[in-house]
Structure 1
Amino acid sequence: MTEFTTSADGTRIAYSVTGSGPALVLVDGAMCYREFGPCKSLAETLADRYTVYYYDRRGRGESGNTLPYSPEREFEDLAAVIDAAGGDAFVLGFSSGGGLVLRAAAHGVPMRKLASYEAPFIGEVRVKGQPVDAIAELNKRLDAGRPDKAVDFFMVDMVGGPAFMPLMMRLMRPVFAQLKAVAFTLPYDTEIMTGFRVPVDELSRIRVPALVMVGGKAKPNMVAAAQGVADAVPGATHRLLPGQTHQVKDEAIAPELVEFFR
C-alpha cells in the first residue's frame, strides 16, 4: 500500500512500509524507485528485523516533482520520510542515494545511524579523455526530446559501461521504457554528486555513526571513492563486501546492516 508524506516545499512523497522493529529508511540511486530498483527486495529481506520505509524520490513513481530542483529539496524529502517513520531512523543509501544520505546528514537531517553503498564520488566525467559538464550534456539530450540518448550518456560515459550497452538495453524494451520515463531526473543525481568528487569539508560535518561500503569487484575509482568518503566522515566504519558488484546482493549487505544498525 502506498502512503504519502509532504516535503517542506509541499511536494508529496510516496512511500511503502513493511516489517516490524526499529525504523530503517532506504534511499535509491539514479533512475530507481520503489517498483524498479534494489530497495523493495532488501526491504522484504530485512522486514523481520526492522520497520522498513522505502520511497519514490521526487520525480519518480508516485512522488511529485516541484520545481525548481535543488539537492536541498531532496534532503527535505528524506527528512519528511524520516519524520513519517517516527523521527528516529537508521538510513541506507545506494549509489547516488548514498551520496544523498551522506550530504543530507551533513546538512543536519536527523538520523540514528547511516550507511552508504558505493556512493559514486569517482571523479569528473570524461569523454574521449576530455572533461565534460555532465549536467549540460544530459540536459542537451533531454531538451532535444531524447531521453533515450540521456540514458545512453549516463550508462556509457558516466557509469563507464561498454559501448554496446545502449543496444542491449533497447532489446529489453520494458526496462528501457522505464529508464526513459525517469531520465529527466538524471541531472538531479548529478547535482547531488557534487561533480563526483568527495565533498570533504561537507562530509566532515557528519556527527552520526556511518558505515561506508564498497563491493569487492568494484573498479579502482569506486574503491578510492569509498575510501575517500570513509576518510572524510569522522569515525566512519569502512567495509569491503567480497565478491559484490554495484548491484549488491541482499544476502551480502543485510548482515553488514544488522551488525551496524544496533
Structure 2
Amino acid sequence: MGAPIRSRAPRMKIATWNVNSLKVRLPHVLDWLAANQPDALCLQELKCENKAFPLAEIEAAGYQAQFNGQKTYNGVAILTRQPLADVSFDIPGFADEQKRIIAGTLDGVRIVCGYFPNGQAVGSDKFAYKMAWLEALTGWLRAELLVTPRLVLAGDYNIAPEDRDAHPDWEHEIHVSVPERDAFKALLGLGLVDAFRLFEQPEKSFSWWDYRMMAFRRNFGLRIDHLLVSPPLAEKCTACVVDKTPRKLERPSDHAPVIVEFA
C-alpha cells in the first residue's frame, strides 16, 4: 500500500496596487496577473467611470471584477479568481462623492480596498477632508471587525507611518505629519497588523516614487501602500513584499504592487 496522498494546504495571495489610470496601465495589469496569479488584486486610482471599466479584458485573463469608479479621478476595484461575496461600496454614513472604497468577502476573508485621500498640504481643506475620511473609515472598520474577524485593509494610504518609511531627504510634511501617523496608529489600535513589518525588510523599502528627478533610479520614495491584516490572518501570514518589477516598465504607475501571502 502506497503512502497516503497529502492534500496541499490552501494558500491565499492578496495584492494592492495603485495603477494611476487603469486605461493606461491595463497591459501592465494583465501581464502582472498572468505572472503572479493572486487570489485577489486590489486596484486604486482607476480614473475611469464604471461604464469604461475594461471588464472583458479582465475576464479574458481569468478574473472577475467588482469596481467603484468615477470619471478622471479616484476609483477602486477588486479583481478575484473566485466570486467576491457581500460587495459594498463607500464608507457607510460618510457623505462622499469621491469613489474611494470597495469591500467584499473571499473565502471568509473580508477585503477592504481603499484609495485614501492625498491631503495636499497640512492645514488645507483637503487635509481636513483626509482626516475626517480616516476617522470615518476607522469607525466603520471597528464595527466590521466585530462581524468579520478575518479582514485585510489594502490600499494606497498616502501615509508613510514611520521615519523608515520615507526617504531621509523627504522635505514635505504631507504623508509624514503627526496627525496622519496618528490616524494610522488608530487603525493599528483596532488590532490590525502591518503585514510588511511582520518580516525583516531591506532598508529604504518604498512603494511609491515620483516620476520627476529620477526618483525611482535614486530610490527616493515613500512606503505608502499597505496591507493591514487582522490577528487571525497575521498568524497565518507567510510573506509580504513590494514588487518593483512593474515600476521599471515603460510608462509605469508611480506605485509598485505590494503582495501578502497566507498559509
Question: What TM-score, normalized by structure 2, do the two folds share?
Answer: 0.37
- Greater fraction of residues in helix: 1
| Greater fraction strand | 2
